[in-house]
Amino acid sequence: MSIIKTSYSRRSFLKVTALAGGGMMLSFSWLAGCNPTPEEALTLPKEWFELNSYIKIGENGAVTLMSPNPEFGSNVKTSMPMILAEELDINWKKVIVEQADFFPERFERQFTGGSQGIRLAWKPLRTAGATARQMLINAASKTWNVPAGEITTEGGILFHKPSGKKAGYGEMASKAAGLPVPKEVSLKHINDFKIIGSSRKNVEGLNIVTGKPMFTLDYKQEGMLIAMIVHPPAFGLKVKSVDDATARSMPGIRDVFTIKTLEDDYERNGFDTTSFTELVVVVGNTTWEVMNAKKALKPTWEKISDSSIVVQGRDGKETVTIPAGLESTEGHKASMAEMAKKPGNVLRKDGDPEGAFQKAARVIERTYSAPFLAHNTMEPVNCFAHVTAEKAEIYAPIQAPEFSMRTLTARLGLPKEKIHIRLARMGGGFGQRAYGHHLVEAAVISQKLNAPVKLVYTREDDMTYGIYRPMYTATYKAALDEKNNLIAYQVKAGGIPEGPLGHSQNRFPAGAVDNYLAEEWKQNSNITIGAFRAPRSNFLGGAEQSFLDEVAELAGKDPIAFRLELLERARKNPVGTDNDYDPERYAGVLKLVREKSNWSQTDNNVHRGVAAYFCHNTYVAQVIDLSMKENKPVVEKVYAAVDCGIVVNPDAAANMGEGAIVDGIGNAMFGEMTFVDGVPEKNNFDKYRIIRQMEAPKSIEVHFVQNEHDPTGLGEPLFPPIFAAMANALHKAKGVRLYNQPFSPQIDKKVLG
């Protein structure tokens, strides 16, 4: 048990009247997977009593828990309420979960991304649960006239054992809601957890399998119009004019116009990324009618000029240059090769790398690359908006509503109190939904029409819109001495239009090598980029861990033993002081995956690749077992070892890990967006290859290290290393190293044929 000051999340306890929600769907925790017995069946109370922003209790003992963060499939809508329920000490089967609207006065950090949801909500949610429980105890203490310290709770019931008194939370809820918030409360010892650490089904499970409306694309209201956009077909083009005569005359069409969504001189935040600030808009009654009219438009385009925008990013204010021109993948490859020859910006230097490379017995140098990637969430970009002179109602799939709010305020000319953002379940996010251009677009379209509007992108609009994972390259160099010890290590990496190293220069193997150098460069582009599951790490993890595998092989060492040797050096005698990883926890996942995969066991028909990585505060090691069937690689099994501290909802956590593994294998094998004259060459799933059922691993085991560390991120960390585990296993299968993603075309064409 630990005592915690409630001021940590004081704003959660402000009594603020909630904005009217409307259309809210309740999620009953017991509905997923089993039929409740009559005793368990939950009836809605006559009245709710709010104990804090997150918790309402009815007079009948029903409990509503608010899930603050937007849900895009990472299970926060189940696991966050589990944390509240644990400290509140209630029966999970009596819980109703409600998605909170965006409401920063009531909720901490309503942001889903960076694998930080559970990590940063851990203390605020526990505190909110514990504080409500204490208020119920205090209410019972006053009612029964007994010391609060003698009152215990279990499963939503208050007990005073010396007198034999007991009462349900519902009986004390009214009185508790009127009591002052305690200044400090006790949190449970983790050994006393009953809900955290035991698997609970997705609270939306039944709604999902029965097809209930839960996404913005499913939303409808009286008088709502459908709006679709036409954006320039290429990066480097803008709207010149549009002949809309035919489209206007088509059935069901209400209006066609061109609209400026963001002013050129608007000082953007890091999530205001917008590929095209002027769009052609078609508005009509139904989706199919608008889709047809969209095809009948005859727009003309003109080339953009060089320009620049001011962006307030994570490293402060920055002027970003947007060059004119129609870029192509072939040109990108050539310019990246040129840029890689020039000196980069030095991010970290230890010892004397130059000297060490000169005296090395052996120098290994390899260059890796990866293409632009499209997110391709299954639910295409869409957003509902109803903007009037007085207020704006937005219902959006959005990971980062706080960043959209400022832009909506500026663009609509409404104060933030008059803008209400409801958070829809998202049909995938992967980073793309952190960028709220669709909220701004829907809002300005609705404002112009003075009507409720649902903006819908077609798959083609979505896939060719941009905000892609950047294109990257990295050259790694390793120096070995006569005894095959790693004496120097160098990485020089760059990308279009952003390098992959960024804030990662202090990651392993920095700290484990005496002589170390990390350099970075970037090249501007008019192709827009954005966060994509494990930004930057999603390339670095694969490249670095492929390189270390090859270095280990050339040094005649087992790849796991080689990494453990380096980690031991980093533990005993680290180089530098700002290494960002814990060598013992890093070694821990390698040892666990070695044990779980029976690494020492070999089978001539099974080709094994290993990789490990630390990002988003979580350690991961993975082993892939590959077989070749009819000359095609088949992933028979994947073993993952993960150290993310305490796991809130283990089965859902494993599900997320499995997804990240399969997603990573898919992107390593197939993921690629290419360009010709600024035009994205793939615009739908017939051209853009996404991993499918037949290519997925036959089985996956995700093992969590058992410890008492506070939880860290999970949505991203299993993604980066699997790229390398795949490359390393493919090397074992055919003896050929793969340096350039995607791997599949090389396998199909020549390398492994």
Partner 1 sequence: MAVFILNINGKKQQVDVDPATPMLWVLRDHLNLVGTKYGCGIAACGACTIHLGNIAMRSCMLPVSQVGNQPVTTIEGLSEKGDHPVQKAWLEHDVAQCGYCQAGQIMNAAALLKANPHPGDAEIEAAMNGNLCRCATYVRIRAAIKTAAAG
Binding site for partner 1 (CB under 8 A): 32-33, 72-75, 199, 201-202, 204-206, 208-215, 217-218, 220, 226, 251, 286-289, 291, 376-380, 425-430, 458-459, 651-652, 655-656, 658-663, 666, 684-686, 690-694, 696-700
Q: Between 87 and 625, whose beta carbon lies closer to partner 1? A: 625
Smaller CB separation from partner 1, 291 or 311: 291
Smallest gap, in angstroms, from Cβ of residue 214 to partner 1? Answer: 7
Nearer to partner 1, 503 or 698 (CB): 698
Q: Which lies closer to partner 1 via its Cβ, residue 214 or residue 396? A: 214
CA 192 to chain centre: 30
Compute the distance between CA of residue 443 and CA of residue 414 in angstroms, rounded to an integer: 11
Of 176, 185, 143, nearest to 160 (Cα)? Answer: 143
**Beta strand 471-480 pairing with 453-456:** unpaired
Distance in Å, CB of 572 to partner 1, minimum: 39
Question: What gap in Å lies between CA 63 and CA 60, rounded to an integer?
Answer: 9
Give dist(CA 140, CA 132) in Å, integer: 13
d(CA 98, CA 162): 37
Which residues touch 182 (CB under 8 Å, ≥6 apart)?
6, 131, 134, 135, 138
Are 199 and 650 in contact by the 8 Å Cβ rule? The answer is: yes
CA distances 217 to 212, 408, 424, 455, Å, are 12, 21, 9, 9
Pairing of strands 382-387, 316-322: unpaired
Report in angstroms how near the CB of residue 699 gets to partner 1 at its nearest.
Answer: 7
Residue 630 Cβ, how far from partner 1 at the closest point, in Å?
A: 13
Do 724 and 549 contact (CB within 8 A), yes or no?
yes
N-term to C-term CA, the chain: 61
Measured distance CA(443)–CA(450) in Å, rounded: 10
CB of 426 to partner 1, least distance (A): 6
In 135-236, DSSP assigns E strands to 151-154, 157-160, 165-168, 184-187, 225-230
Q: Residue 222 Cβ, how far from partner 1 at the closest point, in Å? A: 12
**Nearest residue (CB) to partner 1, 236 versus 429:** 429
Tokens (6 digits) for 378: 């299954």
CA angle 406, 617, 202 (to 5 degrees): 75
**In whole angstroms, what is the distance from residue 549 CA to residue 621 CA?**
13
Please, which residue, 374 or 552, has the CB nearer to partner 1?
Answer: 374
Kindly state the smallest distance separating residue 294's Cβ from partner 1, in Å: 12
How far apart are alpha carbons 753 and 744 in whole angstroms?
11
Q: Which is nearer to partner 1, 161 or 212 (CB)?
A: 212
**Six-digit token string for 106:** 């009531």
Residues whose CB is less than 8 angstroms from the CB of residue 88 and which lie 6 or more positions away in sequence, other chains included: 55, 63, 129, 130, 132, 133
Shorter beta-carbon distance to partner 1: residue 287 or 506: 287
Residue 310 and residue 470: Cα distance in Å, rounded?
20
Cβ at position 238, least distance to partner 1 in Å: 26
Nearer to partner 1, 549 or 658 (CB): 658
Least CB distance from residue 397 to partner 1, whole Å? 10
Tell me whether residue 293 or residue 478 sits nearer to partner 1 (CB atom). 293
Residue type, 258: T
Closest distance between partner 1 and the C-beta of residue 216, in Å?
11
Smaller CB separation from partner 1, 114 or 666: 666
Cα separation of 383 and 439, whole Å?
A: 6
40 or 330: CB nearest partner 1: 40
CB of 135 to partner 1, least distance (A): 33
Residue 115 C-beta: closest distance to partner 1, Å? 14
Give the angle subtended at the CA of 524 by the CAs of 519 and 529, to the nearest 5°.
95
Least separation, in Å, of the C-beta of 381 and partner 1? 12
- β partners of residue 546: none
Which residue lies nearer to partner 1 by CB, 454 or 569?
Answer: 454
- Closest CB 309 distance from partner 1, rounded Å: 30
Note whether 61 and 42 are within 8 A (CB).
Answer: no
What gap in Å lies between CA 569 and CA 564, rounded to an integer?
9
Q: Nearer Cβ to partner 1, position 139 or 656? A: 656
